[in-house]
Amino acid sequence: MEIILALSIGALTSSGVWLLLRSRTYQVLIGLSLLSYAVNLFIFSMGRVRTEAPPILQPGVPETLANYTDPVPQALVLTAIVITFAMTALLLVVLLAARGLTRNDHVDGRGAGQ
């Protein structure tokens, strides 16, 4: 499972970075979204990868990390998802405004229009 998780984070990050460096605004937006997915998975995996372990204390089960998964990264990733989602929506609006004003979807607003 670790290798699949690591590979998917790697694939998302590399394609995200590649798209981020492209010259069209929509590609940059998608690149940032992919990057944020990769980051969310990464935060999640930093609490150590565990299966079939609940993050909430249960009666009768000893309160050690051997019986539970770490709840903190799960809480963090929730916050991170909300924030990056909102920021991506905002960037989309700015992207459309720039497209309207420059009549062009180049990141500098001066490439050959399509």
Partner 1 sequence: MSLDHLAIAPILLPLATAAFMVQLDERRRTLKAALSVVSTLCTIAIAVSLLAAADAAPPGSPAATSVYLLGNWPAPFGIVLVVDRLSALMLTLTGIVILAGLLFSIARWHSAGSYFHALVQFLLMGLNGVFLTGDLFNLFVFFEVMLAASYGLVLHGSGEPRVKAALHYIAVNLAASSLFLIGVSLLYAATGTLNMADLAARVPLLPQNERTLLEAGAAILGIAFLVKAGMWPLCFWLPNAYSVITPPVAAMFSIMTKVGIYVVLRLWPMVFGADAGASAYFGSGWLLAGGIATIAFASIGLLAAQDLPRLASYTVLMSSGTLLAAIAVGSAGVTGGALFYLVSSTLAVSAFFLLIELIERSRMPGADIIAVTADSIGDDDDENPNAADPIGIAIPATLAILGIGFAACALLLAGLPPLSGFIGKFLMLYALFPATEAASGAPASAVTWTLLAVLLLSGLAATIAMMRTGIRVFWVPLESEVPTVRFLEVVPVVGLLVLCAALTVEAGPVARFMQATAESVHAPQDYLQSVISAPRAGQAQSPEPAP
Residues that bind partner 1 (CB under 8 A): 20, 25, 28, 32, 35-36, 39, 42-43, 46-48, 72-73, 76, 79-80, 83-84, 86-88, 90-91, 94-95, 97-98, 101-102, 107-109
Of 5 and 91, CB closest to partner 1: 91
Cα 85 vs. chain centroid, distance in angstroms?
Answer: 9
Q: Shortest distance, CB of residue 82 to partner 1, whole angstroms? A: 10
Q: Shortest distance, CB of residue 59 to partner 1, whole angstroms? A: 21
Cα 30 vs. chain centroid, distance in angstroms?
Answer: 11
Q: How far apart are CA 83 and CA 10, in angstroms?
A: 22
Of 61 and 65, CB closest to partner 1: 65
Closest Cα partner for 12 from 52, 50, 39, 43? 39
Q: Shortest distance, CB of residue 28 to partner 1, whole angstroms? A: 6
Helical residues (DSSP H) of the chain, grouped into ranges:
2-20, 25-45, 71-102
